[in-house]
Amino acid sequence: MNPSLPAAASTTSAAVLPPALDGLDPAWSRLVEAPDSEGARRTWHVLDNLSRLEQSGSEPIGTILCVHGNPTWSYLWRGLLSAATEQAQAGGDVWRVVAVDQLDMGFSERTGSPRGLPQRVRDLDALTTALGLEGPVVTLGHDWGGVVSLGWAVDHPEHLLAATVLNTAVHQPESDPIPALLRLTLQGPVLGRATVSTPGFLATTLALARPALSREVRDGFMAPYLRADRRGGIGAFVADIPVDETHPSHAELERIAEGLRSLTVPALALWGPRDPIFSDRYLDDLMDRLPQLDVHRFEGAGHMIAEEVDYAGAVLTWLADLTAARAAEPVDGAAAGVPAPGAAAPTETAAWTTAPLWQNLEDLRDSDDTVLVEMAPSSGAGPRTVSWRLLSRRVDEIAAGLLSLGVRPGDRVSLLVPPGADLTAVLYACVRIGAVVVVADAGLGLRGLTRAVRGARPSYVIGALPGLSAARALGWPGVKISTTVLPSPTARALGVTRSLLDVAALGARALEGTTLAALAPVPSPDDTAAVLFTSGSTGPAKGVVYAHGQLSAVRDALAERYGIGPGSGLVAGFAPFALLGPALGARSVTPDMDVTSPSTLTAQATAAAVAAADATTLFLSPAAIANVVATSGDLTDDDRAALARVQTFLSAGAPVSGSLLAAAESLMPAATAHTPYGMTEGLLLTDVTADEIRAAEASGGRGVCVGRPVATATVRVVALDEQGRATGELGDTPDVTGEIVVAAPHVKDRYDRLWLTERASRRVDGPAAPEGQRWHRTGDVGHLDADGRLWVEGRLAHVVVTAGGVVTPVAPEQAAESSSLVARAGVVGVGPGGTQQLVAVVETAERSRRPGLAPHDVAEDVRARVSEPLAAVLVVPDLPTDVRHNSKIDRSRLAAWAEDVLSGGRMTTP
């Protein structure tokens, strides 16, 4: 007996069946006798849906073996038992689910002696032998049950079909302490009181669930542990955590951890990143040991992930894809355009069919022509120019320096650097040596940025002082490198180990007598190059993974469409395009502005940037354009002359009104105005000029015309059903509204650690994508017209389903905005789907100071212009917008606010 545990830990008692509990089918419960790891006869309680399957005449295709952790029991898996049984009854795949109560836990027998990890793994073997489980078996474990289940998987490859886990860990790095909650519990005087004498450990674990568990569910988890003499296994389980190599279970943990490297079966991890015990560092370790691991991180979920998300649906969906892929073999292990779960990455190195992203840095390394212009008004020194020669040398030195520091292909490097020469040099240095750049816009805000950086798990962070300060304060992972040389006390406080100057100096020494080409082989076009984060305007920002070949295809699409190339000048108020300047061979400049807040760009700053780069192409967001137009009165004659030299003007990221385009055109009379359509997942998909927009709008189309697909892109639509869901077949029939689906060589590779999201974005019924490409469901809704032009009508998530039918929001918003009394409008639905009521929320031309019901004249004019009946017209001082573009209306937030107000809530600003 462990001396730190109370006597209750050594109490014996028989296994029993559980009482009636919420969500638990009594037919699932059974008691099973089998010898334990030492040969003693024991009785286990298990939940098993086999009897229900037999009642319906269903024959299982395999067994999902579920192992709970501490301090839960098989009740944790009731959702999967229910979902699998219902799926079988509905005619889907038939899975037997067996959920075990480990000995001394749940309603299984209390043995009276603590059981270590080696015993628990062998106990499970004995039980499955008694149950006759010979495969195919899919293991599923959570918490320390994940280790036990993976131990069984390692020992039974002949029966194993797949291995799946919720938050767990198989290795504790010697350099990292175990989680604080467990460290506290393991303290000698605390262990027994917290885990056995009182239900403290159990209650604390259950309290981690968000939202909080219902009383009925909480009672279900507590049911086997109501007395101290029933909680001995909880304390013994905690005591069995191998804190160091002297612990009796350490060798077994190491055996399992190393054994995972030999598993070749498909594997899945469903993860709650808010878990204070099993954090993302343990997920990283699993991904290293199981390269085939599919991962989905559920943002907002934590340790009690099984109670917080639909893990059962995710597991069954993943297994359905697995069985479909196996049935379709030997067709590349893929089904319906979705990679088979656990499919290994191609081993052949793909050949470059286009120039790598950094090719111009090689071709122009001896040129003294300008590649970058940095606007520096605060220094009073005027713009700073950077030549191709200087940038090429700097990229080589930083690349070689990073290699000297231990950065290797595939390592992730987070860039928290404002646009300019430093960011450009670091980015090209990273991609050249095969490191993966992680770019998360500071416009996400600290909360969103923290979630993005932690989710991407970079090994290195290169940042300016603001980014590094945030990284230190919020515990972002990675070795820290500063863009400038910091005072020693500041560097120590921020955990900074090197400056970029140090890295370049290291690289210069490493390059003496050799070249970067000799130090670093060229990455393959299929190798991962970057993780770019979405704006977060439709939920938590998603990491979008691009391969090298796809980034090069982005460059090629821009060059082909807009004629940007060597010798041309580009002003980019949108950071991704500024970074593509050297790849295009163009001189590029970011105007003097806060890139995290596009509306800070002024007309004078824009003109100064155009003049400094002798630019002929200008790329701005709609919010930036609006402020440029608003401040155009400050322009001098020289400023206007500079803007008059612009030949191509681009704006994207959100719809641009005709009046705003016209005002911008008046400032750039020689320019052709374009409003390309794209997104982080595909930066250029269609294009349209202002003249084409005006001609299209004259034809009376609904929504915003974004033009025809660019040369390498294909655009199709999945029709909406009467519930507003995109369930139809992929097609290009004119005037059919549905979800917009695209394919192009420059569309993303995948979403990062979001297997379910990636799966949903690829699955379509209908024709296959062009060869070598995959469909991407954009989440936007719209239609194609008879001339092949795409019209965007809003977001799929914002479609309103009224009693009269499906309504997309953009057309009624445009109708409302046609009123001279309205500046901007957002149209949303309130109430239950199918009977939703339309509500228009507007900013008036004469800004209202407070939210409320619209004045009578505004309401009447809006109602007269909107063809759909409106339940209410409300006014607000400012419509809520997303954090990155400052121009996309946050309709989800607006809908929640309108529903609250119309239900009698306080009239606050949304």
Residue 438 in tokens: 């992680």
pLDDT band at 331 (very low <50, low <70, confident <90, very high): very low
Domain final residue, candidates 771, 797, 823: 797
Structure tokens at 655: 């719809």
Same domain, 317 and 170: yes
Helices (H), 132-197: 144-155, 180-186, 188-192
DSSP H helices in 212-294:
215-222, 232-239, 250-259, 280-289
CB within 8 A of 479, min separation 6: which ones?
405, 459, 460, 461, 497
**Is residue 557 in a domain?**
no
CA–CA separation, 426 vs 411, rounded Å?
Answer: 14
**Least-confidence region, from 46-55, 91-100, 648-657, 723-732:** 648-657
d(CA 813, CA 825): 5
**Could you write out the three-class secondary structure of 181-223?**
HHHHHHCHHHHHHHHHHCCHHHHHHHCCCCCCCCHHHHHHHHH
Q: Which amino acid is at 171?
A: H
Q: Of the spans 398-402, 678-682, 771-775, which averages the highest pLDDT? A: 398-402
Burial 162-186 (b: 16+ CB within 10 A, else e): bbbbbbbbbbbeeeeebbeeeeebb
pLDDT digits over 338-370, tens only? Answer: 445 655 444 456 788 899 999 999 999 999 999
CA distance linking residue 123 with residue 115, whole number of Å: 10
Tokens of 725: 């869901």
Let me know whether 500 and 610 are in one domain: no
**pLDDT for the residue numbered 780:** 95
583 token code pair: 């790849």
- Segments forming the whole domain that contains residue 81: 7-328
Q: How far apart are CA 460 and CA 416, in angstroms?
A: 11
Which CATH number belongs to the domain containing residue 575 in this structure?
3.40.50.980
Q: Which of 486-500, 691-705, 828-842 has the lowest mean pLDDT?
A: 691-705
Question: What is the per-residue pLDDT for 175?
Answer: 60
d(CA 431, CA 527): 10
Element (DSSP H or E) covering residue 755: helix 755-762
Q: Quick check: 124 pLDDT over 90? A: yes
- Name, in order, each residue with C-beta under 8 angstroms of 291's C-beta and a sequence gap of 6 or more: 344, 345
**Domain holding 743: CATH number?**
2.30.38.10
**Residue 887, pLDDT above cutoff 60:** no
- The CATH number given to whatever domain includes residue 817 is 3.30.300.30
Residues whose CB falls within 8 Å of the CB of residue 885, separated by 6 or more in sequence, listed in order: 535, 537, 598, 621, 622, 623, 653, 654
Residue type, 301: A
DSSP string computed for 295-318: EEE-TT--TTHHHHS-HHHHHHHH
Whether residues 95 and 149 fall in one domain: yes
Q: What is the pLDDT of residue 697?
A: 81
640 and 706 in a single domain? The answer is: no
Q: How confident is the model at residue 907 (pLDDT cuts 50, 70, 90)?
A: confident
Exposed, middle or buried by CB within 10 Å (0-12, 13-18, 19+), for 404? middle
Beta strands in 711-809 (DSSP E): 714-720, 726-731, 738-743, 750-751, 776-784, 790-795, 800-802, 805-807
Is 836 inside a domain boundary?
yes
Residues 895 and 880 sit within 8 Å (Cβ to Cβ): no
In a domain? residue 379: no
* Spatial CB neighbours of 598, under 8 Å, sequence gap ≥ 6: 573, 574, 620, 621, 623, 624, 627, 885, 886, 887
Cross-sheet strand order for the sheet of 870-875: 822-830, 837-844, 870-875, 852-853
Residues 104 and 37 in one domain: yes
When pLDDT is cut at 50, 70 and 90, the band that residue 468 belongs to is very high
- Nearest-5° angle of CA 19, CA 22, CA 23? 110
In the chain the first and final C-alpha atoms are separated, in Å, by 60
Same domain, 611 and 713: no
Tens of pLDDT, residues 249-263: 999 999 999 999 999
Instruction: Give the side-chain half-sphere CA count within 13 A for 128.
Output: 29
List of E strands, 315-404: 334-335, 338-339, 370-374, 384-387
Six-digit token string for 329:
């073999």
Supply 739's token pair.
Answer: 């979800």
Q: Judge whether 438 and 467 are in contact, CB under 8 Å.
A: no
Higher-confidence residue of 454 and 680: namely: 680
pLDDT for the residue 2: 45
* CB-CB contact of 706 with 675 (8 Å): yes
User: 153 with 281, same domain?
Assistant: yes
Give the separation between CA 891 and CA 797, rounded to whole angstroms.
Answer: 9
Q: Mean pLDDT, to the nearest integer, of 265-284? A: 94
Token pair belonging to 403: 């290699």
Cβ neighbours of residue 371 closer than 8 Å, sequence gap 6 or more: 364, 386, 387, 388, 391, 581, 582, 587, 588
Helix 658-667 / helix 622-630 crossing angle, nearest 10 deg = 60
> Band of the pLDDT at 745, cuts 50, 70, 90?
very high
* pLDDT at residue 342, as a whole number: 52
Do 143 and 246 lie in one domain? The reply is yes
User: Do the beta carbons of residue 139 and residue 163 sit within 8 Å?
Assistant: yes
Task: Dig out the tokens for 839 from the structure.
Answer: 């509500």
- Contact predicate 558/536, CB 8 Å: no
Regarding predicted confidence, which is higher, 780 or 881?
A: 780
Secondary structure (3-state) at 167: coil
Share of the chain above pLDDT 90, in %: 73
Q: Give the C-alpha separation, 159 to 842, whole Å.
A: 62
Q: What is the pLDDT of residue 501?
A: 96
For residue 311, pLDDT over 60 is answered with: yes
Do the domain assignments include residue 907?
Answer: no
- Domain end among 675, 709, 742: 675
The two most distant CA atoms of the chain are separated, in Å, by 95
Segment 805-815 shows an average pLDDT of 94
Name which of 741, 831, 723 is nearest 782 in CA terms: 741
159 lies in a domain? yes
Distance separating alpha carbons of residues 757 and 544, to the nearest angstrom: 11
- Say which DSSP state 229 is in: G
Q: Distance between CA 428 and CA 357 in Å, rounded?
A: 8
Whether residue 700 is found in the same domain as residue 753: yes
Report yes or no on 201 lying in a domain: yes
Are residue 472 and residue 507 in the same domain, yes or no? yes
804 has pLDDT over 50: yes
How many folded domains does the chain comprise? 5
Instruction: Please give the pLDDT value at position 593.
Output: 85
Cα gap 116→124, rounded to integer Å: 12
Rounded mean pLDDT of 694-721?
A: 91
Contacts of 676 (CB under 8 A, 6+ apart): 561, 650, 652, 684, 685, 686, 687, 688, 706, 707, 710
Q: CA 258 to CA 237: how far, in whole Å?
A: 22
CATH number at residue 117: 3.40.50.1820
Token pair listed for 886: 């400052």
DSSP state of 729: E
Of 657, 675, 693, which residue sits at a domain end?
Answer: 675
Give the mean model confidence (pLDDT) for residues 200-228.
96
Residue 609: enclosing H or E segment and its boundaries? Answer: helix 603-613
**Rounded average pLDDT over 784-806:** 95
- The region that residue 614 occupies, defined by phi over 0 for left and psi between -120 and 50 for alpha, beta otherwise, is left
Whether 339 maps to a domain, the answer reads no
Condensed to tens digits (0 to 9), the pLDDT of residues 846-859 reads 877 789 899 999 99
Mean pLDDT of 880-896: 75
Residue 378 located in a structural domain: no
Same domain, residue pair 711 and 793: yes
The pLDDT of residue 572 is 87
Mean pLDDT of 323-345: 59
Indicate if the pLDDT at residue 179 is higher than 80. no
Say if residue 490 is in the same domain as residue 596.
Answer: no
Quickly state the pLDDT bin for 555 (edges 50, 70, 90): very high
